[in-house]
Chain A
Amino acid sequence: MKALRKYVDSVKPNFQEGGKFSWLRSTFGAFETFLFTPNEVNKGGVHVRDAVDLKRTIIVVVLALIPALLMGMYNTGYQHFRALGQAAEFGDMFLYGFLQVLPMLIVSYVVGLGIEFAVAQMRGHEVNEGFLATGMLIPLIMPADVPLWMVGLATAFAVILAKEVFGGTGMNIWNPALIARAFLFFAYPSKMSGDSVWYGAEKAVDGFSGATALSNANATGATGFDFMDCVYGLIPGSIGETSVIAIAIGAVLMLCTGVASAKTMISVFVGGALTAYLFNIGGATGMGSLCWCEHLVIGGFCFGAVFMATDPVTSPRTECGKYIYGFLIGAMAIIIRVLNPGYPEGMMLAILLMNTFAPLIDSIIVGRNISRRKNRVKQQAK
């Protein structure tokens, strides 16, 4: 590794102030710090620091997404051959899905990182690592058949308007990946939902329905799928969202490493289950009659609860606030599913809505701390 370090040191001056490529300073810095943790030492404050940094944290999130990604690839192939009415080997199914999903992943990363690098360069900042997770999340919450240009457009929209205009990683109000999905959802609704967007429906055999569990439930009050298939993830849906097991592996990794907040995650499930249960006992029909446990395993509920709701930047920053936030996301997702016939899926909108209210939740909790302090002064004055 010494040789590599030497090489990096030898080309470094070109990228620094006054060098030939100084306009690529941020880009060089991003690659350099990716290869080598910087040699920068603490000055002025603490002399030692925790070994963790944002790269480490984000990498754990990316790792946690891998099971959902792999399962999504397999399921894409599985659904494809099911639609065509053909039998296929495991390898063929995975390969088909792999070739379908990989370009989306590449487009998302190239477009997103391209914008991140350009913006960092313009501002003279370092490139933030936040997009490494976002870039993975964006394809995972899209249907596998979505055109690549739409992936690129949505990514660009999300990175520029949901993130960089606010100041980059750590400053955004809404989860950028969900903004990407919401953008396509409202701009190109026919490509994002309905029965025909999944897995090459135009070539499908007669009698095949591409309907998702959610749209079935919306129409008939039943998912139309075996419960265990929903858990394994062998149902139509966005790439990463279908397999509860794959998502659970990611959840365990993120909770064990403390990267995601267990408070938020559990509260989402509690909120969702309780609300669905209330609809059940209230005698609601249609989507409302769906058992609470089915609600939790279909659509984007699990994926949203594990990977989207727990985004620390767009969640409340207070520990107590996380319970309220999570609970309301779960409750809101089910309410939108049941009461809004136009949108069979409520998770995306529920999380974006609660992202908006996260600062308000914090403000109330911190406000209680402030009034405690004021009361203390009053009591002493007495």
Chain B
Amino acid sequence: MSEVIKLKRGLDIRLAGKSETIYTQVAPSEQFAICPADFKGLTPKMVAKVGDKVNAGDVLFVDKQHPEVLFVSPVSGELAAVNRGERRVILEVVVKADGVATTRDFGKEDVKSLSRDQVINKLLKTGAWTYFKQRPYNVVADPWGPIRSIFVSTFDTAPLAPDFDFIIAGNEANFQAGLDVLAKVAPTFVGVRSESANNAFAQAKGVTVTSFAGKHPAGCVGVQINHVQPINAGEKVLTIGVQEVVAIGKLFSTGVMDFARVAVVCGSEVKKPTYVRTTLGSQLTNILKDNIASDNVRVISGNVLTGTQVESNGYLRYYDSQVTVIPEGNEYEFLGWAMPGLNKFSNHKTFLSWLTGSKTYKLDTNMHGEHRAFVVSGELDAVLPMDIYPEFLFKAIMAQDIDKMIELGIYEVVEEDIALCEFVCTSKLNLQKILRNGLDLMAKEVG
């Protein structure tokens, strides 16, 4: 393997509630849902109707702009409900499982004998194309036109994130098969953790492997892209997660879409943090049953930086392999700004907790302050290991100055890359939302 890219900037938030690498058996869920909000920029168009019988792999809805991009049911059963929100926006497409695993067979195929178009068509037809996210903008990938490269990050450095070295065990061959498929679509790059013990990642074939060391966000694929081959204006880069690569590998080697996913259940309010074997879009009820320590909690599909707040009977969101439960912080704190702060986690040294070494913290959802204008400088730069000036980029976005946004590198970042900036921000600005507004504006004006 070549040299290790060492990232100095970043921050590991030391949350309590990390899971050991063990699996716990949970009862399979009865309901599953695909939430269109997981796909940025998507306007869903329903294909199946409420009451329809569906097999695992049957189409539920399609992308209105790209009707060839299919979103399929992860289980066989009955389309139970299409839950809508304000202005009839589709929130959840719920499938009630029938318990019979009827899956569609798309046929075994050797990827070596297929052309690039055939591969893409197969990915589209099976719904696996939706596993890709496209940069810039972090949207569902456009299947047509040149794709510069595909990036896979094989480790997650977010707080309490799952260990993919552990999850991948037993699926190494499928992972490699998946990479072979990706390499057919575009040149593929794999980012691995420098101390990763898993050879499936470090010795992946047919792809370019780059090794990274450092704190979060070293595992964010955007940061890795920035160091390997930064995205320029007009270029299109796809990203995909490890479990999705495995699923694609299985699709080509067995002909069947595998919707099984591993998720880690973690956080300070989880009694027994553990890994569970579950299914894409699974309802969380059974996973969290008898495993939550208190009532006033927030359940998050994903990690505490970028995850989605869900109910305890909500669903595991499309791209997530983590469920975090932390205390809700809706309480006042007397003279909170004046206390020595030995029990408070902060990347700033105004709290004495920086003297206490590496203990873990039970963080709640309190904002610990109010919104302000940018005052403290340098704090955002300190947690973004990219050649980008985040504060200037955010100011350009707030001013809706598209030229400046492009000049300052908006094509190179998505929300997860700058989530840590939002965490450390003294002025408590909603930086992920600001960036999303900028990306949406760019997508609309520039395309």
Chain A: residues with CB nearer than 8 A to chain B? 1, 4-5, 33, 35-57, 59-60, 126, 128, 130, 167-171, 256-259, 261, 312-313, 315-319, 362, 366, 369-370, 372-374, 376-377, 380
Bound-complex Cα distance A261 to B419 (A): 24
- Distance of A40 from chain B, by nearest CB (Å): 5
User: Which residue of A37, A46, A258, A376 is within 8 Å of B369 (Cβ)?
Assistant: A37
How far, in angstroms, from A59 to B233 measured CA to CA in the complex?
A: 44
Stretch at the interface among B84-92, B272-280, B284-292, B374-382: B374-382
A-B contact pairs, 12 of them (CB 8 A): A5-B332, A45-B419, A45-B433, A48-B15, A51-B345, A54-B427, A55-B337, A126-B371, A257-B349, A318-B381, A366-B408, A372-B387
The answer to whether B389 touches A170 (Cβ under 8 A) is no
Of B15, B328, B337, the most chain A CB neighbours within 10 A belong to B337
Distance, CA A11 to CA B225, complexed state (A): 54
Q: Is the CB of A366 within 8 A of B365?
A: no
Q: In the bound complex, how far is the Cα of B376 from the Cα of A317, in angstroms? A: 9
Would A57 and B387 be within 8 Å (CB), given that A37-B336, A41-B329 are in contact?
A: no
Contacts beyond the supplied A53-B368, A169-B372, A376-B232: 12 A-B pairs with Cβ under 8 Å: A44-B430, A46-B432, A48-B305, A57-B375, A128-B372, A170-B372, A315-B377, A316-B377, A317-B392, A366-B389, A369-B409, A372-B387
Q: Per DSSP, are chain A's interface residues mostly helix, strand or loop, or mixed?
A: loop
**B330 beta carbon closer than 8 Å to chain A:** yes
| Residues in A whose Cβ lies below 8 Å from that of B408 | 366, 369-370
**How far does the Cβ of A189 sit from chain B's closest Cβ, in whole Å?**
33
What 5 pairs across the A-B complex have the smallest Cβ distances?
A: A53-B369, A37-B336, A170-B373, A51-B344, A55-B337
Partner of B350, one of A57, A169, A362, A366: A57
> Are A54 and B372 neighbours in the complex by a CB distance under 8 Å?
yes
Interface pair B369/A48, CB less than 8 Å apart: no
Task: Decide yes or no: A44 and B433 within 8 Å by CB, A50-B424, A56-B337, A372-B387 being known contacts.
Answer: yes
A231 to chain B, nearest CB (A): 27
Contact A53 B432 (CB under 8 A): no
Q: How near does chain A come to B288, taking the closest CB pair, in angstroms?
A: 16
Contact residues in B for A38 (Cβ distance below 8 Å): 332, 367, 369-370
- Whether B187 sits at the interface, judged by CB under 8 Å, is no
Point out the residue from A4, A46, A59 that lies within 8 Å of B422, measured CB to CB. Answer: A46
Interfacial chain B residues near A167, Cβ < 8 Å:
373
Interface secondary structure of B, over-half rule:
loop
B351 CB–A CB distance under 8 Å: yes
Q: Please determine whether A47 and B366 come into contact, CB atoms closer than 8 angstroms.
A: no
Is there an interface contact between A49 and B330, defined as CB atoms closer than 8 Å?
no
Is the pair B336, A313 in contact by a Cβ cutoff of 8 Å?
no
Task: Report the Cα distance A315→B409, complex, angstroms.
Answer: 23
Q: Which of B159, B305, B377 contacts A317 (CB 8 A)?
A: B377
Q: Looking at B233, B306, B369, which has the most chain A CB atoms within 10 Å of its CB?
A: B369
Q: Are B232 and A377 in contact (CB under 8 A)?
A: yes
Asked if B439 is at the interface of the complex by the 8 Å CB criterion, the answer is no
CB-based contact A52/B348 at 8 Å:
yes
B426 and A53 contacting across the interface, CB-CB below 8 Å: yes
CB of B335 closer than 8 Å to a CB of A: yes
Rounded to whole Å, the gap between the CB of A375 and the closest CB of chain B is 11
Q: CA A60 – CA B339 in complex, angstroms? A: 12
Question: A257: which B residues are within 8 A, CB to CB?
Answer: 348-350
Considering the complex, give the chain B residue whose CB is closest to the CB of A311.
B375
Asked if residues A1 and B334 are in contact (CB atoms below 8 Å), the reply is: yes
Within 8 A of A (CB), among B357-400: 363-378, 381, 387-389, 391-392
Q: Is B341 an interface residue (CB 8 A)?
A: yes
Q: Which residues of B, 396-410, contact A by the 8 Å Cβ criterion?
A: 407-409
**Inter-chain contacts of B309 with A (CB < 8 A):** 43, 47
Bound complex: CA of A52 vs CA of B375, how far in Å? 13
Which chain B residue lies CB-closest to A315?
Answer: B377
B235 smallest CB distance to A (angstroms): 9
| Chain B residue nearest in CB terms to A373 | B409
Chain A residue nearest in CB terms to B332: A36
Bound CA span A37–B338, Å: 10
Number of interface residues of B (CB under 8 A): 74
CB-CB under 8 A from A171, the residues of chain B are: 373
Q: Is the CB–CB distance between B378 and A261 below 8 Å?
A: yes
Asked if B304 lies at the interface with its beta carbon under 8 angstroms from chain A, I say yes
Please, how many angstroms separate the alpha-carbon atoms of A42 and B425 in the complex? 13
Within the assembled complex, what's the spacing in Å between the Cα atoms of A31 and B321? 43
Residue of A nearest to B392 (CB): A366
- Bound-state Cα–Cα, A4 to B333, Å: 12
Residues of A within 8 A of B246 (CB): none
**Interface check B13, CB cutoff 8 A:** yes
Instruction: Find out whether the CB atom of A59 lies under 8 angstroms from the CB atom of B338.
Output: yes
The reply to whether A45 and B350 form a contact with Cβ atoms under 8 Å apart is no
Choose among A41, A52, A128 the residue that contacts B366 (Cβ–Cβ < 8 A): A41
Cβ contact within 8 Å between B377 and A168: no
Nearest CB of B to A55, in Å: 4
Q: Which of B306-356 contact A (CB under 8 A)?
A: 306-307, 309, 324, 326, 328-338, 341, 344-351, 353
B95 within 8 A of A: no
Judging by beta carbons under 8 Å apart, are B337 and A59 in contact? yes
Q: Tell me the complex Cα distance, A55–B169, Å.
A: 48
The distance in angstroms between the C-alpha atoms of A316 and B378, with both chains bound, is 10
Task: Flag if B334 contacts A35 (CB, 8 Å).
Answer: yes
- Tell me the minimal C-beta distance from B99 to chain A in angstroms: 34
Chain B residues, CB < 8 A from A169: 372-373, 375
**Which residue in A41, A60, A372 is a CB contact (below 8 Å) of B367?**
A41
CB distance from B79 to the nearest CB of A (A): 29
Provide the residues of chain B in CB contact with A170, threshold 8 Å. 372-375, 427
Bound form: Cα–Cα A48–B335 in Å: 20
Which of A35, A50, A374 has a CB less than 8 Å from the CB of B347?
Answer: A50
Q: Does B245 contact A (CB under 8 A)?
A: no
Cα(A148)–Cα(B425), bound, Å: 38
CB neighbours (8 Å) of B61 from chain A are none
Report the bound CA distance from A372 to B210 in whole Å.
23
**Contact between B13 and A48, CB atoms less than 8 A apart:** yes
* Cβ B373 vs Cβ A39 within 8 A: no
Residues of chain B with a CB closer than 8 A to A312's CB: 375-378
A317 pairs with B391, CB closer than 8 A:
yes
Q: Is the CB of B387 within 8 A of A369?
A: yes
* Cα-based distance from A49 to B304 in the complex (angstroms): 9
Q: Given the complex of chains A and B, what is the CA–CA distance between A53 and B427 in angstroms?
A: 6
Contacts of B368 in A (CB 8 A): 37, 49-53
Closest residue on chain B to residue A367 by CB atoms: B407
A52, B350: Cβ atoms under 8 Å? yes
Minimum distance in angstroms from B214 CB to a CB of chain A:
18
